[in-house]
Amino acid sequence: MILLTKINNAQVVLNCDMMQSIEETPDTVITLSCGDKVVVKERMTEIIDRIVEFRRRIRQLVETEYKQQYGTE
């Protein structure tokens, strides 16, 4: 889940697993897998950076949990 800002300044949290595509037209338009579109202020590169950071945090949590449960290797 990543926090973004809609064009009307409302904050929205989107599930990045549901994102199908991101376009800059020049507004940034995110198309979800259900076909809905969300227009946000953030640029495409910033959204990608947030997705990468979100997935990195998830991976670190999983690795930490694994090490606690099964020991370090």
> What's the pTM value of the predicted model, to 2 decimals?
0.84
Taking 70 as the threshold, does the pLDDT of residue 6 lie above it?
yes
Mean pLDDT of the chain: 94
The pLDDT tens digits of the residues spanning 13-27 come to: 999 999 999 999 999
Classify the phi-psi angles of 71: left when phi > 0, otherwise alpha if psi is within -120 to 50, otherwise beta.
left
The pLDDT tens digits of the residues spanning 49-58 come to: 999 999 999 9
